[in-house]
Structure 1
Amino acid sequence: MRITGVDFCGVAVTPRTNWCFLLVRTEDGRTGLGECTLANQEALLAAEAARLASRVVGWDAQARNRLARLLPHAQGGLVAQTVLSAFEGALWDLAGQALGRPIHALLGGALRETVPLYANINRGTNPRTPEGFAAAAGRALAAGFRAIKLAPFDPIIWEDAAEPAWRQGYAEGLARIAAVRAAIGPEHALMVDAHWRFSPGGAARLIQDVAGFDLFWLECPVAEANHAEIRRLRGMANDRGMRLAGAEALAGLAAYRPLIETGCYDVLMPDMKHCGGHEEMRRIAALALTAGVEIAPHNPTGPGCHAHSLHACATLPNLLPLEVQFGETE
């Protein structure tokens, strides 16, 4: 089953969103699909896909071990890792087609018949007022979701924390959380994604200020580099009844290992589009399991990543709900 072509495909789905896919074709007429969506990086993704094609055309599509040798040494940062992750997913898709079996069966078999999901209402909320977020949360509940996530602090960045506009934006973020909690009631899980908008000191204040909202987790309050600060914030969050989650854009077990071994997070969020694909997802989850860390894959993009994430999630013993981007597209 030799590879005869690797094609990049971008699809505009909303005025602000493109989904990007990698199509791997083989000599027997099959096409495997992986997703490589990365916001505003379409030109770089296409160039990286072409570069990859020049290397892998002629490969046996079942020789995934060759990819494992490429992944840790990829040049090009997150763009290259995203294209390689999509390529790995496409190879698993081809293997499943050739054998007539689902990917999760090839990964060792499903541990569950259904995968729990939660709704990320962030990109589907308009207007981005407390009332708008509350309405979006209500629509997600009506659609059957029982756990909701929002990113209420996107208008602010920690470098501006001394400015009056920052203080106003912070207060508005807290108001959005309060409105969503009121809309969904105490019986449903609520998660907040801070999108790295805070300094360590600001994140400590944030943990104190959101303690009354009974959050299931607080996600990505600070940049991933300072493990000691993240570990301290985890302790603060745990003392107030919430988990600390993060690490959504890292590639490979080597990047996740120090976060696991130093106890940074309660919940890790590897993304099928970036982490290296199915094999790396399983390695990350296995090491996390030894440390009592749970896995909630990052999955806020398109249907290719969603399909691959579902197969991966079916096999993971330490799984928390999988993310779904709710309301962004019809």
Structure 2
Amino acid sequence: MRIAAIRFAGVNVTPKTNWSFVQVATEDRRTGTGECTLANHEAVLALEVARLDAALRGADARDRNALARLLPHAPGGLVRHAAISALEQALWDLAGQEAGVPIWRLLGGRLRDRVALYANINRGVAERVPEGFAAAARRAVADGFGAVKLAPFDPFVWEDAAAPDQRAAYARGIERIAAVREAVGPGIDVMVDCHWRFSAGGAAALVRDLARFDLFWLECPLAEANLGELRRIRAMANDRGMRLAGAETLAGLAGFAPVIAAGAYDVLMPDIKYCGGYEEMRRIAALAQVHGIEIAPHNPTGPICHAHTVHACATIPNLGRLEVQFGETPLFFGIAAGTVPAISGGAAPVPDRPGLGAALAEGIAAERPWIPIPSPWLDPRLG
């Protein structure tokens, strides 16, 4: 099963969102697909995939250990990690197709037939006022979700926190959380994503301000570089009934091991697009399990990442809920061929088709090519 070509495919799905993919074609006319979405980095992703294509044409696609080895110290950083992670996903897809079995079967079998989901409502909120968030949360609950997540603090960034408009942004964030909690009621779990917007002192104040909302978890209050402060914030959150979650952009077991050893999080969020793919995600989950830490993979992007992550989640013992985008775009299913696991009803069925069971629709990248995004979701200082 020799590699004939490795191609990048970028697809625009909203005025603020592109999704990016890697397709590995073999000489025996199979195509394996992985996802490498990394907002506002499509051009450099395409260059990195072209480099992989030049280096790996003619290689045996079954040699995953040699072809898709993730090195956390790689000079390309997260761009390199995303390309390698997508390559590894695509190679697993090819292996399943060749064997005639779903990927989870090659990983030793599934532990569950369905993977519990939570709804990330953030990008599905057009009117970013408290009622807009509340309405999105109600739609998710009506669709069967028992947990919702919002990212309520844009445009707050701690470096500017002394400015009056930033103080107002913080207050609006609290109002959005209050509206969602009231909208969904006490029986629904609510998570809050901070996207690393806070300093250590600001995160401590935030934990105190959020205690009244009975949150399930607080996510990414500050960067993983500050493990000592994260451990302190975790203790504060735990004392108030909240978990602390994060580590969505780390890569490889080597990247996660210090975070696990430091006791920084209750919940780790490896992303199959960045962490190195299946093998690294499962290694990370195994080490986390030894330390009593749950895994809730980061998964707010496209259908290929979602399908791969469902396969991986089927095999992870210490799994919590899997993230899924809710309400951002109907193209989640429109750009895909095959069977993409459901993103409604609060759980996704584990696929039974060979390989991944899903792929990009024929010609979709040419029909909807990626575009530069002039107004990204996140302040460039945050990621």
Q: Normalized against structure 2, the TM-score is what?
A: 0.85
Name the stretch that deviates more: 9-18 or 275-284.
9-18
Residue 164 of structure 1, CA deviation: 1.1
Partner of 1:117: 117
- The one-character-per-residue Cα deviations of 1:160-215 (angstroms, maximum 9, x if unpaired) are 11111111111100000000000000000000001101000000000000001111
In the alignment, the residues of structure 2 paired with residue 198 and residue 70 of structure 1 have an alpha-carbon distance, to the nearest angstrom, of: 30
Q: For 2:32, what is the secondary structure of its paired residue?
A: strand
CA distance in 2, matches of 1:116, 1:107: 19
Query: What residue number does 2:129 align with?
Result: 129
Deviation (angstroms), 1:323: 0.4
Give distance in 2, aligned partners of 1:104 and 1:159.
44
RMSD (CA atoms)? 0.9
Percent identity between matched residues is: 69
Higher helix share goes to which structure? 1
Per the alignment, residue 107 of structure 1 pairs with 107
The Cα offsets for residues 76-130 of structure 1, whole Å up to 9 and x where unpaired, read as 1100100000000000000000001111111111001100000000011010000
Q: Distance in 1 between matches of 2:57 and 2:73?
A: 19
Is 1:71–1:84's contact at 8 Å kept on the other side of the alignment?
no
Q: Kindly indicate whether residue 337 of structure 2 is the aligned counterpart of residue 315 of structure 1.
A: no
- Counterpart of 2:326 in structure 1 is 326
Aligned equivalent of 1:162? 162
CA distance in 1, matches of 2:221, 2:197: 6
Q: Are 1:261 and 2:261 an aligned pair?
A: yes
Query: Which residue does the alignment assign to 1:43?
Result: 43
In structure 1, the residue corresponding to 2:206 is in which secondary structure?
Answer: helix
Structure 1, residues 10-52: CA drift from partner, whole Å, max 9, x if none? 1111111111110000111000000011101110000000001
Aligned residues of 2:24 and 2:87 also touching (Cα < 8 A):
yes
Task: Please tell me the residue identity of whatever aligns with 2:312.
Answer: A
The whole-number CA distance in structure 1 between the counterparts of 2:174 and 2:279 is 39
| 3-state SS of 1:254 partner | helix
| Partner residue, 2:210 | 210
In the TM superposition, what are the counterparts of 1:138-153 in structure 2 within 5 Å? 138-153=138-153
Alignment correspondent of 2:198: 198
What secondary structure, in the 3-state scheme, does the structure 2 residue paired with 1:197 have? coil
Paired residue for 2:96? 96
Residue matched to 2:287: 287
Q: What CA deviation, in whole Å up to 9, does each residue of 1:259-307 have, x standing for no partner? A: 0011010000000100000000000000000000100000010001000
SS state of the match for residue 122, structure 2? coil
Aligned to 2:235: 235
In the other structure, the counterpart of 1:66 is 66
C-alpha deviation, 1:73, in angstroms: 5.4
Query: Scaled by the length of structure 1, what TM-score is found?
Result: 0.99
Q: Name the CA shift for 1:73/1:244 in 2 (closer, same or farther; >3 Å).
A: closer
